[in-house]
Amino acid sequence: MRRRAVLVPSVAVAVVLGVALAGLAAWTGVLHLPYPSRREFPIQGIDVSNHQGAVDWPRVRAEGFRFAYIKASEGKTFTDPDYTSFAAGARRAGLTVGAYHYFTFCSDGAAQARRFIAASGGRVAGDLPPVVDLEFGGNCSHRPDVAEFDRQYAAFEAVVVAAFGRPPLLYVTSDFADRYLTGASARGSRVAGRRLWIRQTLGRPDGGCERWSLWQFADRGRVDGIAGPVDLDAYCGGEEGFAELTR
């Protein structure tokens, strides 16, 4: 008896669908690459902004997270509306807090620093060092050369150091680092050789604690107490080094 033909999706279509589903799972945080172990990196934390919405800080602390970097400002005009409440809530829950500023390439560096200080309140005893977020994603279209970037960053850093008593830690993406820190074009840059907070969600950053202090290992993590995805970070070092950061 002649049977009706059964339409079976091709292997190629199945692969495409599989990749798409895997991508969707990764994007939503359902599927992720293995995170660094708490045994190797016992001091882990999160970084947040107003995009996270409400945060239940005691539940975040109960998950074992030790610190939270919180966005305070961006450019020379924007103050994150949730910085003050987030910082207070995180401190009450027992997390160590740090403030970060998103640096834009189209604003004066000193003006950005003044915005950061006004938004964060400057140095608070027991807090982590200030951080400046240096990346192309979400930035203005201008791409300064190394000399121009150095001038604007120097102006920013001078004001921040005067207020916080120490230079900011540099949060960098790989493309930014290649242009201004490590690549051939970065020769002579004032930020070359600085200790870093590295964003790398695929694999582990090169080098060790002598090169980087913090590692953002996930940007779609899931944490009890936060409804949506959140950035996850690890400190490179032990208790003594972490305590030194807060002095």
Q: Are 125 and 156 in contact (CB under 8 A)?
A: no
Q: Are 100 and 130 in contact (CB under 8 A)?
A: yes
What's the one-letter identity of residue 234? A
Q: Is 133 a catalytic residue?
A: no
What's the one-letter identity of residue 220? R
Of 206, 173, 179, 177, nearest to 194 (Cα)? 177
Looking up tokens 């980087």 gives 212
Q: Are 138 and 175 in contact (CB under 8 A)?
A: no
Q: Using CA atoms, how far apart are residues 172 and 105, in angstroms rounded to an integer?
A: 14
Burial class (CB in 10 A: 0-12, 13-18, 19+), 203: exposed
What's the one-letter identity of residue 5? A
Q: What sections of the chain are H helices per DSSP?
A: 11-28, 57-62, 83-92, 109-120, 146-164, 174-177, 239-245
> Which listed residue (47, 82, 133, 157) is catalytic?
47
Q: Is 47 a catalytic residue?
A: yes
Helices then strands, counting H and E runs in the chain, come out as: 7, 9
For 195, the token pair is: 């200790």
3-state secondary structure of 96: strand
> Which listed residue (63, 108, 135, 178) is catalytic?
135
Active site residues: 47, 135
